[in-house]
Amino acid sequence: MRGLVASFGHALSGVRRLLFRERNGRIHLALAVAVVLAGLAFGISRADWLWIVAAIALVWTAEALNTALETLCDTLHPERAEGIRHTKDLAAGAVLVAALGAVLIGGLVFFPYVFG
């Protein structure tokens, strides 16, 4: 049981680092808070909340994996290398795809509430 508790502690430490020490994590946090507040203000449906929560989780997951991969690359290979650059670009691209998907989901969810 002690190991399980320690694992959760490490995971929470990673989440805290992502949300409060990484610039992009803070941006994603601010946008997620804004979307949640908008959802509360518009009284969106339970089904719409499922999409919003999934989109937020997807973006945060992508950002966490990107940050972890960038940290690992920078630690193992601090000097510039083409392969490292490509790896980091691909990871950043994954975050971009997730964020664009989240924007699309947000648009589809909120459009009827704003213009309906």
The answer as to CATH 3.30.70.890 being correct for domain 2-115 is no
Q: Where are the domains of the chain?
A: 2-115
- 50-83 pLDDT, tens digit per residue, is 999 999 999 999 999 999 999 999 999 989 899 9
Which of the residues are catalytic?
63
**Number of other CB atoms surrounding residue 92 within 10 Å:** 16
**At 77, is the secondary structure helix, strand, or coil?**
coil
Residues 6+ apart with CB under 8 A from 38: 110
- 8-40 pLDDT, tens digit per residue, is 999 999 999 999 999 999 999 999 999 999 999
